[in-house]
Structure 1
Amino acid sequence: MKTIKTLALTCAIAVGLVSCSDNDNNDSIIQNETKVLFTSNNADGNVNVYNVTNINSVMKSTLETSATAADGIYYDGSEDLIVQASRSTLGLEGYAGVSIMSSAINATVTASIMSGLNMSSPREVAVNGDFYVVADNADADGIDITKDGRLFIYTKSGSNFTLRNIITTDIKLWGITFIGNDLYAVADTTNELAVYSNFLNNTSTTTLTASKQIAIEGIVRTHGLTYDSMTDTMILTDIGDADSGTDGGFHVIENFNSKFNNTANGATLAVNQQTRVAGSNTVLGNPVDVAYDGSTKTVFIAEAKNGKILAFNNINTGGNITPVYSADLAAASAVYFYKE
């Protein structure tokens, strides 16, 4: 079984879009064309897999899981393993051999690797090597007026996720992502972005203060974020008024590292250093997560309020632009982009 080969992933998820061969030269061509978007949702907990190699001819497969709601999602190509944070079991669940299982339009999958059921309200997942970090946005201390959350740090070894430690934060949590060894996190209910430097060096269960925290001008309430190291681009979503289905958007920050470093702790990154996409044509109401293909400047959005997976590739000038791709997905909660 070629469960960890890109060839198998390409053949299975493309569902007939391309022909496959074991010829090494053909493998190289096919590998360069493989682009896949993994998504989770809070309506049925299934994993939906979109082949987005050609954004004008997207094919979808569905992996039916035992979860009834899920959030953060990640794909490990070296192990052909999908991992998502289950909001129904409150643990991490991993599904191995997805290349084989997703060869059908719909397939039922069983978790082959699970963590303990430790969390209260898991959201985004960020991965650094064998460390899987999950943001939990439940009130950590039971006091509504205090801003806090928890980061659950799991280590993966073989077919096991082991909880190493729990970090209580000084911000409410939602989206998280690694840049090197630093963990960036949105401060939920605000327009702020925080970083915890050398995050994984904190090996005990403790409370941690952000190393730096800045405001992002133009955002009302941020939720999702993603970083592309090849282009040094950070993208953050803005859900605006959570009850509205029309006032969402996202911000693209190119040359992110220099802009973040040049913004003092507690200061604001000016909107003129960003590109904002928002407006009635975008279908953005509550964009809760984002993924990015830096090679084509394509932004993928999990739009929760309007139940959509959206893609934008005409983002250079920002503004009220129309998605180049839109698919219904009730209570869309997370997206993860993978390419080979």
Structure 2
Amino acid sequence: MNTKNIVALGLIGIFTLSSCSDDDSNDMMQENASANLYATSHANGNVTRYNLTTNSVTTFNTSASDSEGIYYDPESDSFTIATRGMTQTSLQTYVGISDMITATINLSVDFSSQAILQNPRDLAVSGDFYVVADSQNANAGRFFVFEKSNGSMTLSRTITTDFSVWGIEFVGNDLYAVVDNTNELAVFTNFLSSNPANATVSASKRIAIEGIVRTHGIAFDGGTLIMSDIAAASGTGADTDGGFHVITNFLSKFNATANGGTLAVGQQIRYAGSATLMGNPVNVEYDAESDTVYVAELANGAGRVLAFGNVSTAGGGNASPALNNSLAGVSSLYFYKG
């Protein structure tokens, strides 16, 4: 039996059942919709695409040997990855990938940025600007801001901050960033317009998220924010001590929490426990329409892509994932539906 097809069918169940409607126009939209989950890997730099509507899995062999951070652009039908390693430290873009549906495809880079990255952890996009969270050390991080234009990726500016960075997410014009080695969340308001040139800046606001030990991944959709908790990065039990938090009505809760304050765990939903198979959930994605969280789990089983459905209503706890697919060294995810 083909394990990947079984996994993809599980994803289709999450996508389709949650989107059912008696309205004919909505049914037609569902039939014409496509949903894809893209995953990167530390193991080989390849990109795996799970097509949730055609029940297929495609592996793109890229020019990278290691990557973390990915974005799919529907206008150019391309994905961009942040590459890592001694010789590959850039953004690489691969164009025209939707019609490629065979199981394994070898790709060549269509264009790339300057080789300036050092330790990329995540990628967030606003318009033509691609922001890479790059962790320098425990006390400092950088945001490399690239501008995509006419088939090129050019460094626009470098923003340095006073904490180690990991996951980042644009919510409107504001850039939210997890504070690595802590349970904190920071925001840089009007990030691009407020920081037009190279600068060293502090976050506009930082709060603690009660219940999280050490956060890494972040995702936002439909008013709900997801944050992952890797807890202990290594040692006994480190492959089962992770989790993620669901924060509905996020903006109102964040705005109501004072700078330096704590968002109470009672205002969140926590998923954690041995049945979740989460130990080091380094990256997360969220689809509000299906109320599904997708998790890049790095520690448990040497790497898994997990999915949990109905996360805002199921109540949290030690829930088993609806999807459990092995993917060695999985490092980041991007969900696209259109």
Same fold (TM over 0.5): yes
1:49 and 2:49 correspond = yes
Superposed CA deviations along residues 36-75 of structure 1, whole A, max 9, x for unmatched, are: 1011010010000001238xxx531100012110000000
Change (3 A) 1:29 1:318: closer
- Taking the aligned partners of 2:228 and 2:244, their CA distance within structure 1 comes to 4
Q: 2:95 — aligned with what? A: 96
Q: Secondary structure at the match of 1:257?
A: helix
> Are the aligned partners of 1:314 and 1:321 in contact in 2 as well (CA < 8 Å)?
no
2:304 to 295, 305, 308: 308
Shift of 1:113: 1.5
Q: What residue identity is the alignment partner of 1:225?
A: I
Residue pairs, 1:176-187, within 5 angstroms: 176-187=168-179
**Residues 1:114 and 2:112 aligned together:** yes
Q: Aligned equivalents of 2:27 and 2:214: distance in 1?
A: 46
What TM-score comes out, normalization by structure 2 length? 0.87
Show the 5 A alignment for 1:66-105: 66-88=63-85, 89-100=88-99, 102-105=100-103
Unaligned runs of 5+ in 1: 1-13, 15-24
Q: 2:143 aligns with which of 151, 163, 174?
A: 151
Counterpart amino acid of residue 74 in structure 2: G
In the other structure, the counterpart of 2:218 is: 225
Partner of 2:40: 40
Once the two structures are TM-superposed, the CA of residue 111 in structure 1 deviates from its matched residue by: 1.0
The Cα of 1:31 is off from its aligned counterpart by: 2.8
Which secondary structure does the structure 2 equivalent of 1:259 belong to? Answer: helix
What pairs with 1:1-340 in structure 2 (closer than 5 Å)? Answer: 28-32=29-33, 34-53=34-53, 58-88=55-85, 89-100=88-99, 102-139=100-137, 147-201=139-193, 202-228=195-221, 231-243=222-234, 244-306=238-300, 307-315=303-311, 316=313, 317-340=315-338
- Paired residue secondary structure (1:68): coil
Maintained 8 Å contact 2:290/2:310: no
SS of equivalent residue, structure 1 residue 247: coil
2:73 and 2:153 map into 1 onto residues whose CA distance is 14
How many Å apart are 1:314 and its aligned residue?
3.8
Residue-pair matches, total? 304
Which ranges of 4 or more aligned residues in structure 1 deviate by more than 4 Å?
A: 25-29
Q: Please give the secondary structure, in 2, of the residue aligned with 1:137.
A: strand
**CA RMSD, 1 decimal:** 1.6
Percentage of pairs with the same residue: 49
Spell out, residue by residue over 1:150-172, the C-alpha distance to the aligned partner (whole angstroms, 9 max, x if none).
Answer: 00000000110000110001111
Residue 119 of structure 1 deviates from its aligned partner by 1.1
Deviation per residue, 1:116-149 (Å, 9 max, x gap): 001111110000000000000123xxxx6xx110
Q: Match of 2:192, SS?
A: helix
Alignment partners' CA distance in 2, 1:314 and 1:133: 30
